[in-house]
Each structure stands twice: as C-alpha cells, then as structure tokens.
Structure 1
Amino acid sequence: MLKHTLALALIACASLAHGADQPLRVGWVFAMANAPALIADKKGFYAAEGLNVELRQFGDGPVLQQAVAAGELDIAYVGAPPVYQWASRGLEAKIIAKVNYGQAALLADAASPLKTLADLRGKRLASLPKGSGMDVLLRGFVLREHARLDPDRDLSIVAMPPANMPAALERHVVDAAFTFEPFVSQSLLRGKTRLLLDVNQALPNHPWYVIAALPATLSARPADVVKLLRAHARAVAFLKDHPAEANRLIAGAFKLEPVQTANGATISAEAIVQEARRRLGWSARLEPADLQFIERLMDYSSALGFMGKPVKVADLVDTSFQRRAEQGGN
C-alpha cells in the first residue's frame, strides 16, 4: 500500500509541471462547512485575484485523496485527518489555512429511549466510512473520550451515506446517527430526530476542514496559492457579513428543498442553512489552538491504528502563505 501511494505521489508531483497558465485545480469535500470554496467561486473572488480555478466536488475525504494521489488536483478543501493520514503513508501535503469550525452532531430518533451517550452501548450507530475524518472524531472523541465506550466492542458502527441516515433512524435500522450539516438541520427541522450531542458545544470552535496543498504546488505556483488564500479569506468574510445572501447561495449549491415539519409547516431552504449555522462557522486563519486540536486528532488516529509512520504537526502545517496573503503580498 505504501509503495503504491508513493508511486501515485510521484505521478502527482510530475503532473504539476502543467504550469501556472493552466487552471488551479481545487477539490472540495461537498459539505456545507466548505462553503467558502463555492462562495469564492460564485462571488467572483477567484477571478478578482486573476485566478482561473477549476472546482471539483467530492463526496468524502478518502475519495478526494485518490484524486490528489493521482495528480488530478492542486489544492484540497478537506478534513485535517485525511491530510495527516496521507502524510503518514507517504503522500505529503501541507495544511496552509483553516476553513471552518464545527459541523458534526449525533442524532437519535425523537421517540428513542436513548438519553446519554453511555446508552449507546449495545446499539447500532450510523456513521461515515471507517478511517474518514468524521470516523476519527466519532471513535476518538465522541465514543472513547466522551462516552467511555470502545467503538469496536461496545456498539456496532454502520457506514452509510449521510442522506440515508434519517430514514435509517425512522425505520429503526439504526439507533443513532453521527452526521454533519446540512443533514443534521434537515433532520432536526422535520421534527423526527433530536440531538444527543452537538460536537461544537462539546468542543467549542474546533477546526475541521482545512486547505491543503502538495509541496509541488506550493513550489511551482506560490503566487497563485497566495491569491487563492486571499479569495478564501474574502469568502469567509462574506459568509459572516452577508448571511442572507450567503444562505441563498449555499441552499442553491446544495439543492436544498424546503422541509415539512411534523405539524405541517414549511421551512425554507435558506432557513435550513441558518439552522446549520448554530453548529458550524467559518474562519480562515490557523491559530495555535487549531494546531493543538489537529495534534489531538492525530493522537486519536494513532490509537485507532489509522496512521502509518509518525507525523509531527510542525511538519504538516505551513502558515507562511497565510501570512503573505494577510500582508497583501504574492
């Protein structure tokens, strides 16, 4: 596996010789928390920086990793766990900026007898694929640290797409579901589920999605990377300063449909996005506390057996491009 990954990494580095005149290929995990990528595109912030950006969306971090390893992307909006897990297996990448904080929650059916996380013992829990960033957060923090449960012995974790989880809860295929926005808000607003745990309340403002780049990208196109980070920062500011317009753009990009509540009321797509903002937010700047949390995630991954060689946070993060973007340089 390691040799295969290294070979793909060499392909990726070679492909970056396509030159600065080509589009900057940006992949992003299709989650509401990664909204700065679509906002920067929709509002023309990339174009304002003179960047030709080719955006590609992916369902999860592992699938995006395959595109990075195959040399199909230059930049990735992805969870921190996939980045350090790539690095531990020979596919080096640098985290160069933050995208958001929060997004995840644990849901139960509204009529479920579950009261606490400890009640998950012996139950079936829907989640994202094993080894994904969300899976690391679930197994490492939610179950082992918060609930004091062994994720491999004390309950059954069932991998499934987030869109399938509400139906699985309602049909009692599973007893609880660990998912992210907008799926959390859609489910809650229908009135058929309830929160067991809002992770952003348990871990206030913890970083989740980050911007990562291969060293070859940083070396071959440093000015474009700085421009992208400036556009990214503008998008984060827009999300904060113009919430109504931002909510409309997000609702449209995610093709959200109005939700019918249990009492027959209709909740608009924009209101779903506004509800999601209760559990997530956006921030472009990597702070020391963010790096400490990434190190905590790395400890979870190591304990869960998801890591190859050891990786140091200091070797994983490069904030120099962030500083250049903030200072107005190239």
Structure 2
Amino acid sequence: AYPPGSVVVPIVEAFERSELDLAYIGLPPAMVGMDRGVDIKCIAGGHMEGTVIVGSAGCASYPDASTLEEVIGQFRGRVVGVPGKGSIHDVILSNSLSRFGLAGDVEVINFRWADEIVDAMKDGTVHGAFGTPALAVAVERYAGGKLIYPAGLLWPHNPSYGILARTGFISEETDIAMRFLALHEEATEVFRNTPEQAADTIASMVGLVDSSYVLDTLGISPKYCAQLTQEYIDSTLEFARAMKTLGYLEGDLTADRIFDRSLIEKVHPQGQHYSVM
C-alpha cells in the first residue's frame, strides 16, 4: 500500500488507472508507485533542491548553527511539521532524524496541506518544519518564523520535481511527449532568465499571492531545468536507497527502472541549466 497521507498519491493512482499520461510530481512518491508496479518513468527533470528547513523566530539559523545536526538538534523534545508521508520533504526529514539518532526524540506531524503547517507554526503547535521554498516564505510572512537551513546544503542535487510519463505514452505518443518537453524547458528558461516575469504571471494566475511572494519563493532555490543530469539521477538513486532503509520501498529501484532519457537527450542536447543563473 502507499504511505498514508501522501500529498501526491492521487496522481500516482491516476497513472495506475491509466487516467494520466504525463505529470509534474516529486520523484519519491513516483518511486513508491514504481515499487508497487505502476508503469511510469521519469522522462525529464524540472527542479532540484526544493526542500528547506524553517523554524520559529528563536531558532538558530545556518551559519550560526553550522551543521545540519546542530540545526535539527534544536528540535529535540519538540514538534516538527512536514507534508504528507512519502513526500520528498518527509523522506528528507525521516532520513535526517535517523542519521543523527533523533527519530525517538523529535515528534513529527504530517500535514496534508502546507497552509496547515503555517497555521501550526503561528499558534506554536510545531516549532519547525521541512518543506518547500513557498512554505519558507509563508512562514516568514505570516507566522513570524524564518528559514534556518538552505536547500543546497540539506541534500545536494535532490530531485525536487520531474516529468513522469506512462511508458506506453512514451512509445505511442513520442511526438506529443517531445513537444511537451520542449515547452517544459522553455518554461524553466523563463524561471531562470526572467524571474520577475514568471512571478507576475504566476501571481496573476494563482490570485492568492502577490508577485513579490512568488519572486521570493523562486529566489530561495532557483534551480530549474528539464535536463536529467547525472547528479540528478545519482541523487534519486540515493533517495531510493534511503527510502528502502526507511521502509517506504520494498524493492531496489535501478536507474533504468526510474528513468528514460531518450526523449530529453533529443529535446535538450546541450548541457544543464540547474547551476546557471
């Protein structure tokens, strides 16, 4: 069964029912589906390093707290919030607690929606959280908290999001998939090169936040690209091993099981842009 409360399980289940052909989702929940036998593969990247740690105003922040162990150690005997079980943020939190022997000393609450974490930070129910850059901005603006550990140090090159596709769709609708990937790379280029334009567009479409909120979010971890780099793949495999150790996966997922690079290598033959800003 899928981990209960996973925020993106409906997408994976829709793939399983052949109701979806393509999706932009986090790699760890997708790998849970692959482990179960869902016939999907990652055909492109999207974003790297999309998890940060936030804390209440009294928490020490990096670099004053110079190591990840020191940052997380502040939550001993306290409560940390994180999105649903099986999300990339949940896996990183669980792995970090296990790595530093804190699993029994830090209480974890999985929230279905990020705004619930902001509310819990505001009323003091939780003292810190693992989540997206957008969560970090919301916590700072609305809950009096702050970002205390940056995305690039928490788990370098981690596969925040990518493009997943049914394997049948990849072979049967190759032209459509390639056109989609070309548009996907164009969109990431807007994020990289004209973030102000991207922020204005997103804010006008979403309607719930202003462009400065979106721009602040994009600035926290601006690593957008469609390429599947070796670093992206290696980090994903590291995630797979950690997820098996933590009990999220039963089997061993290989690079060939997770990825199909055949289309993105044609659409995006040049180098990567994750580190080009």
Give the shorter-chain TM-score range: 0.7 to 0.9
Q: Which has the larger radius of gyration?
A: 1
Counterpart CA distance in 1 for 2:119 and 2:269 is: 49
Counterpart of 1:181 in structure 2: which amino acid? P
Number of aligned residue pairs: give it: 257
Checking the alignment, whether the CA contact within 8 Å between 2:79 and 2:108 is kept in structure 1 is yes
Counterpart CA distance in 2 for 1:178 and 1:253 is: 26
Q: Structure 2: 5+ residue runs without aligned partners? A: 66-70, 271-277
Checking the alignment, whether the CA contact within 8 Å between 1:102 and 1:279 is kept in structure 2 is no
What secondary structure is seen at the aligned counterpart in 1 of 2:252?
A: coil
Alignment of 1:119-198 (within 5 A): 119-140=74-95, 142-145=96-99, 148-151=100-103, 153-160=104-111, 161-190=113-142, 192-198=144-150
Deviations 1:49-89 (A, max 9, x none): xxxxxxxxxx9321211221122110011111122221111
1:190 to partner: Cα distance: 4.4
Task: Work out the percentage of aligned pairs sharing the same amino acid.
Answer: 20
User: What's the TM-score once normalised by structure 2's chain length?
Assistant: 0.85
1:214 to 166, 170, 180: 166
Q: Structure 1: 5+ residue runs without aligned partners? A: 3-58, 258-268
Counterpart of 2:205 in structure 1: which amino acid? A
Counterpart CA distance in 1 for 2:55 and 2:47 is: 25
User: What's the TM-score once normalised by structure 1's chain length?
Assistant: 0.72
Counterpart of 1:203 in structure 2: which amino acid? W
1:103 to 50, 62, 66: 50
More strand by share: 1
Counterpart CA distance in 2 for 1:326 and 1:112 is: 42
The structure-2 alpha-carbon separation of the partners of 1:322 and 1:188, relative to structure 1 and needing over 3 Å to count, comes to same
Deviations 1:68-113 (A, max 9, x none): 1122110011111122221111112111100011222222221358
Counterpart of 1:301 in structure 2: which amino acid? M
1:150 to partner: Cα distance: 3.8
Deviations 1:249-288 (A, max 9, x none): 122233333xxxxxxxxxxx21112211232221111111
Match of 2:212 in 1: 271
Checking the alignment, whether the CA contact within 8 Å between 2:55 and 2:128 is kept in structure 1 is yes
What secondary structure is seen at the aligned counterpart in 1 of 2:267?
A: helix
Deviations 1:147-184 (A, max 9, x none): x1343x22111111210112211211112122213221
Counterpart CA distance in 1 for 2:159 and 2:7 is: 17
What secondary structure is seen at the aligned counterpart in 2 of 1:94?
A: strand
1:324 to partner: Cα distance: 2.1
CA RMSD of aligned residues (A): 2.3
Q: Could you list the runs of 4 or more consecutive aligned residues of structure 1 that deviate by over 6 angstroms after TM superposition?
A: none
